Amino acid sequence: MNRRQFFYLAAGLSIAVFLAAHGKDDFSLVENDNLENAQDREEKNCEIFSRIIAQAKREGWASLPIGECMGKIGLIMVGTKYAAGTLEGPGPEICRVDLKGLDCVTFYESVLCMARVLKKGKTAFDDFVAEVTFTRYRGGKLTDYTSRLHYTSDWIYDNEQKKVVRNITREIGEGELLVKVFFMSKNPDFYPALKEFPEFIEKIADIEKEINERQHWYIPKKNVRKAEKSIQTGDIIAVATSQEGLDYGHTGLAYRDAKGKLRFLHASQKKGKVILDTELYGYIKSAEKNIGVTIVRPQDVNK
């Protein structure tokens, strides 16, 4: 997964495959920007963040349950362009944030972290970046590229340990997901950081081994419709994939609309933007490689 990112949203392939197919030039937006453009990006990101926070304060979203707060933020982001590879760049790992373009992981990550900042009573962009760092990296600490939670199954595990989310999958529709991830360590040429720092490949392989030794849970595709009644707005949806070497092929948020339908709110590579999509089950059954879902619920925070 792409953290990000390594999802290729179309057909549940990883973004690593996408980048391999299109070449390293896909990172040119990140790599070739000069300092002035970097400053422009930061100003634009701060502007987007401040606008959302201002509306949230006017409308009292911080008083809502965190999932409902995430639903409000997610809807504001509908229409944001889809952009892959925004977390990648040359040199040592840094926590990159780009609200102008989102992929499936940076979308739910940004929504979750904005909601957490709001619930903590904070309003500064730096607070948001600190929250992203906490959720994006193992144990909440950025050390190097290998500390980023590249695989969604690892992100779920680590953020459950940090009490950011709770994996509720077994409570609403149990099925054991047999995870055998190896895509990153077996395909290092797809990852610019692993090409630049090949010494990280062995560490990534060790992390993959740890992931594969854990128990994982999902709701099989045939049971998703039945489980929908137990899913709430703001729940994070991880779409399990049959693609070899990967665990999940896509991510997004649950959103229950005014008619009570549970819909899928996500950054769609096919549509090229963040959209409020069809009902969740309809989305899951639309692709053969989608084999089910894992549901994690955001946890409220202490100020």
Domain locations along the chain:
10-298
Q: What is the pLDDT of residue 303?
A: 60
Q: What is the pLDDT of residue 17?
A: 37
DSSP 176: B
Mean pLDDT (the chain, rounded): 89
DSSP 91: S
Q: What is the pLDDT of residue 37?
A: 77
pLDDT band at 31 (very low <50, low <70, confident <90, very high): very low
CATH T-level fold of 10-298: Putative xylanase fold (1.10.3670)
Q: What is the pLDDT of residue 39?
A: 80
Average pLDDT over residues 143-156: 98
CB-neighbour burial class of residue 107 (10 A; exposed 0-12, middle 13-18, buried 19+): buried
Q: What is the pLDDT of residue 42?
A: 87
pLDDT band at 41 (very low <50, low <70, confident <90, very high): confident
CA 149 to chain centre: 10
DSSP helix/strand/coil, 188: helix
Alpha helices, DSSP H, located in the chain: 15-22, 28-31, 35-59, 66-76, 104-119, 125-136, 152-161, 169-173, 183-186, 192-196, 200-213, 224-227, 280-284
Q: Which residue has the higher pLDDT, 20 or 99?
A: 99
DSSP helix/strand/coil, 295: strand
The pair phi, psi for residue 254, each rounded to 5°, is: -80, 145
* pLDDT of 6 above 90: no
pLDDT band at 18 (very low <50, low <70, confident <90, very high): very low
Q: Which amino acid is at 268?
A: S
The candidate with the shortest Cα–Cα distance to 48, out of 15, 13, 81, is 81
DSSP 259: T
Average pLDDT over residues 127-142: 98
